[in-house]
């Protein structure tokens, strides 16, 4: 069995779920985790953040339920309203980080969301990936080169197709995929690590 985590780096609920996923991984180090970008803000949804009037209310709810932090630099982006969230660029970044350290993708995806939601950094800016790579002890120039390479753009599109093929249209979604490729939904939007652990225990006992 392995886990498939479908998220979007520009999704506040995914940001809130990061600590839960980290705890699940800590408890279940034997489980491989595939991190897949879902593509929340693509096409006609790539508009200034002011167009999404629900953001601040949603963030307050996310903080209440998960304890997730939203930093002052991010709040300034919200107040200005002109910033455009581009999930295709963010998915290219996830692909570049996944390529650089495939066994650390859960950790790096969380760091990427921290860069936006706490530090207010654009996930379309190569400098963001340089700083993140340096902080993670990765080869920064290699990560930046991968972010801008055509292969990462292709990987982002592959992620979007995979998410759709899994039937996921709400982020974050955590799935368990067993050896016969049957899929079980463990969480959508919000769940505690304890709840997910119980569901995993139930799956393990059945198998």
**pLDDT, tens digit only, all 207 positions of the chain:** 999 999 999 999 999 999 999 999 999 999 999 999 999 999 999 999 999 988 889 999 999 999 999 999 999 999 999 999 999 999 999 999 999 999 999 999 999 999 999 999 999 999 999 999 999 999 999 999 999 999 999 999 999 999 999 999 999 999 999 877 889 999 999 999 999 999 999 988 865
* Cβ-Cβ contacts under 8 Å for 170 (sequence gap 6 or more): 188, 189
- The label of the residue with tokens 């769940």 reads 191
- The label of the residue with tokens 């393990």 reads 204
For residues 63 and 153, give the distance between their C-alpha atoms in angstroms, rounded to a whole number: 32
For residues 19 and 123, give the distance between their C-alpha atoms in angstroms, rounded to a whole number: 20
Beta-strand pair 2-7/33-37: parallel
Cα-based torsion angle of the residue sequence 60, 167, 154, 110 in order, rounded to the nearest 10 degrees: 30
Q: What's the token pair of residue 101?
A: 């350290």
From the DSSP assignment, how many helices (H) and strands (E) are in the chain?
A: 9, 4
Which pLDDT belongs to residue 178? 86
Which DSSP letter does residue 173 get?
A: E
For residues 173 and 199, give the distance between their C-alpha atoms in angstroms, rounded to a whole number: 14
Q: Is 182 helix (H, G, I), strand (E, B) or coil?
A: coil
Q: How far apart are the first and last CA of the chain?
A: 10
């Amino acid at each position: 069995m392995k886990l498939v985590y479908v998220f979007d780096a520009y999704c506040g609920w995914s940001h809130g779920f990061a600590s839960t996923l980290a705890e699940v991984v800590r408890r279940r180090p034997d489980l491989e985790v595939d991190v897949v970008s879902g593509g929340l803000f693509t096409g006609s949804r790539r508009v200034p953040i002011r167009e999404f009037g629900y953001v601040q209310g949603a963030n307050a709810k996310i903080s209440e339920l998960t304890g997730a932090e939203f930093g002052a630099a991010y709040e300034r982006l919200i107040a200005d309203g002109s910033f455009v969230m581009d999930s295709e660029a963010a998915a290219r970044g996830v692909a570049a980080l996944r390529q650089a350290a495939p066994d650390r993708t859960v950790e790096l995806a969380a760091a990427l969301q921290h860069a936006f939601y706490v530090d207010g950094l654009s996930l379309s800016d190569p400098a963001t990936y340089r700083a993140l790579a340096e902080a993670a002890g990765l080869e920064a120039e290699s990560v930046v080169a991968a972010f801008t390479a055509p292969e990462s753009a292709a990987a982002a599109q592959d992620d979007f197709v995979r998410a759709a093929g899994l039937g996921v249209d709400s982020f974050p979604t955590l799935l368990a995929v067993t050896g016969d490729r049957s899929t079980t939904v463990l969480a959508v939007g919000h769940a505690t690590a304890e709840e997910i652990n119980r569901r995993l225990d139930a799956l393990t006992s059945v198998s």
